[in-house]
Chain A
Amino acid sequence: MPPDADLESLMVRYQQGDLSAASELITRLSPALHRFFMIQFVSRRYADDLLQETWLRIHQVRHTYRPGEPVLPWLYAIARHIRVDQYRKTRRVETREQQVERLPETAAFDRAGGVDLNALLAGLPESQREVILMLKVSGLSLEQVARATKSSVGSVKQKAHRAYDKLRELLVGAGFNK
C-alpha cells in the first residue's frame, strides 16, 4: 500500500483537476479496493461493478476530502458505503453463506502451504472480515479503520481480536500448527 503522505498529495492534485494524479490514484488504489469487494461479494463481476461505482462516487464527492487528512479512511468510508448499499439492493444473490457452507476446512490452503485469502477470511463474520482486510491487506491503522467504519478504536481492536481467535481455530483445524 502506498504511503499516505504520497496519497495525500495525489488527492490534492486530483482536487485541482490534474488528470494524471487521478489516474495514478486509480491505478494504485484499485487492486486493494477490488480485493475489498471481492472478499465481501465473491463474484468478480460484482467487484468490478462496485469498483467502478466507487470511483465515480469518489469523483462526485472529491471536494469532501480535506487536505492534510489521511486519504485511506476517507476512501474506504465511501467504498464501504457503496458496498453496504449494494448489499441492500441485491440481497446477496451470491451469498457469502453459500460459500462458507461449501468451504472445507482445508480449502484455504494450496499444496505448497500457501493461503487463499478469500477462502480463509470467508470463515469470519462480515464485520470481522472487513476489519482484518482493512488492517492487514489495505494497510490501514487501527485509528484509520475506526474512522472508515464509524466505530471506536476499542471496537476495532475487539473485532480484530475475535477474528484472530477464529482464524487460529480455522488454521489449527487445517493442520497449520506452527
Chain B
Amino acid sequence: MKDLNIDEILERAAQARHPVDPALLARVSTSIAASLRPVRPLASASTLAWVLLALTTAIAVVSALALGPLGIQKLSGAEIGTIFPVLGIFTWLAAQVCVAEMTPGSVISNPAMRLLTLLVIWLAVDAIFFHDYGMNLFLPQGIPCLRAGLIVAMPTGIAAWLVLRRGFAVDRSAAGLSAGTLAGLAGLIMLEIHCPNFHAMHVMVWHTAVVPLSALAGFIVARIPKA
C-alpha cells in the first residue's frame, strides 16, 4: 500500500459529513454577540520586538551608568566589540521569542532550548576572554552582583509585561519564561558594563545566573492563575 492510497482513504473519510448541533452553534453565536465590539489588532511582531529591545537596552544602560560604568572602562576594544554585540544578538532573539510566545500560531521553536543554547554560547564567550580562574572573594563579591542583576531584571520584566500584556493568549508559562529571559539579559548587560571583577568564575556563575533565575521567576509568575 502506497502513501497515495492512504491519502485517498483519508480524504474519503474526511469528506464524510460531520454535523455539529445547530443549537450549540446558536448558543456560541449568542454568547459572542453579547460582547462583540471592534478590537485593535496587536502591533506587528517586528515593532513589538524592537520596542522590547529598546526597553531592555535602555534599562540596562541607564542602571549601569547610575551604578558606574567601571567594568566597560577596564575592557579592551576587542572584548567590548565581541561581548556587547553577542549580548545584543541574544537580546534581539529573546525579544523575538517573547513576541512569538504571546501570539497563537507564531513561528517559534522551543524557548527552553533557546535559553540553554544562549547560556552555553555566553559561557564560551566568557571562557575566551576571561582566563583568571581565581576564586578569591567568590561569594562576597558574587552575591551583590547577582542581587543587582536581578533588581535590574525586575523593572525590565514589568516593562516587557506592559508591552506584551494584550497577548499571552495561549501558553502563559512559555511566555513568562521568554519574558524572564529577556529581563535577565538586561541584568546581565548591566553587570557587564558595571562590574569590574573579571574573574572567569565570577562572570560565568554570578553574572550568568541572572538569566536563568530571571527566566525561572518569569515562568513561575506566569503560572499564577489570573484573579
B40 touches A30 (CB 8 A): no
Query: Closest residue of chain A to B100, judged by CB?
Result: A150
Question: 1/0 per position for B159-171, CB-CB distance to A under 8 A?
Answer: 0000000110111
Whether A23 contacts B29 by the Cβ 8 Å rule is: yes
Residue B33 at the chain A interface, CB threshold 8 Å: yes
Are A31 and B38 touching (Cβ within 8 A)?
no
- In the bound complex, residues from chain A placing their C-beta under 8 Å from that of B21 are 48
Given contacts A74-B104, A76-B105, A148-B105, A52 and B27 within 8 Å (CB-CB) = yes
Q: A17-B38, A67-B41 are in contact. Are A136 and B28 (CB under 8 A)?
A: no
Contact of B39 with A62 in the complex, beta carbons under 8 Å: yes
Within 8 A of A (CB), among B1-37: 1-3, 5-7, 9-14, 16, 18-21, 24-25, 27-29, 31-33, 35-37
CB distance from B172 to the nearest CB of A (A): 10
A146 and B110 CA atoms in complex are apart in Å by 12
Distance of B99 from chain A, by nearest CB (Å) = 11
Contacting residues of chain A (143-161) with chain B, CB-CB under 8 angstroms: 144, 146-148, 150-152
Main secondary structure of the interface of B (DSSP, over half): loop
A26 and B25 in contact, given A34-B20, A117-B16 (Cβ under 8 angstroms)? yes
Confirm or deny: B107 has a beta carbon within 8 angstroms of a beta carbon on chain A: yes
Give Cα A132–Cα B14 distance, bound, in whole angstroms. 11
Q: Which of B9, B14, B18, B103 touches A176 (beta carbons < 8 Å)?
A: B9
B194 to chain A minimum Cβ distance, whole angstroms, is 37
Check: A55 CB closer than 8 A to any chain B CB.
yes
Per-residue A-contact encoding for B91-112, CB less than 8 Å = 1, 0 else: 0000000000011111111100
A70:B105 contact, CB within 8 angstroms: yes
What separation, in Å, do the CA atoms of A101 and B33 have in the docked complex? 43
Is B31 a contact partner of A168 (Cβ separation < 8 A)? no
Let me know if A100 is at the binding interface, CB within 8 A. Answer: no
Contact between A171 and B104, CB atoms less than 8 A apart = no
A64 touches B102 (CB 8 A): yes
Within 8 Å CB of B169, what residues of A? 57, 60-61, 64, 78
A51 CA to B20 CA in the complex, in Å? 10
Q: What are the residues of chain B within 8 A of A73 when measuring CB–CB?
A: 104-105
A52 CA / B32 CA spacing, docked (Å): 10
CB of B3 within 8 A of CB of A15, answer no
For chain B, the count of residues having a C-beta within 8 Å of the partner chain is 49
The answer on a CB contact under 8 Å between B105 and A19 is no
A63 within 8 A of B: yes
CB 8 Å contact bits of A70-113 with B (1 = contact, 0 = none): 10111111100100000000000000000000000000000000
Q: What are 21 A-B pairs at a CB distance below 8 A?
A: A17-B38, A17-B39, A30-B20, A30-B25, A34-B18, A38-B18, A48-B21, A52-B27, A55-B28, A59-B31, A66-B42, A66-B103, A77-B105, A78-B105, A115-B9, A120-B9, A136-B14, A147-B105, A168-B1, A171-B5, A177-B1
Further 18 A-B residue pairs, CB within 8 A, beyond A23-B29, A136-B7: A15-B41, A22-B32, A22-B33, A22-B36, A52-B28, A55-B31, A56-B32, A64-B104, A64-B166, A65-B41, A66-B42, A72-B105, A78-B169, A81-B104, A114-B13, A120-B10, A132-B10, A150-B171
Chain B interfacial positions (CB closer than 8 Å to A): 1-3, 5-7, 9-14, 16, 18-21, 24-25, 27-29, 31-33, 35-42, 44-45, 102-110, 166-167, 169-171
* Chain A residues with a Cβ under 8 A of chain B: 15-17, 19, 22-23, 26-27, 30-32, 34-35, 38, 48, 51-52, 55-57, 59-67, 69-70, 72-78, 81, 114-117, 120, 132, 136-137, 144, 146-148, 150-152, 164, 167-168, 171-172, 176-178
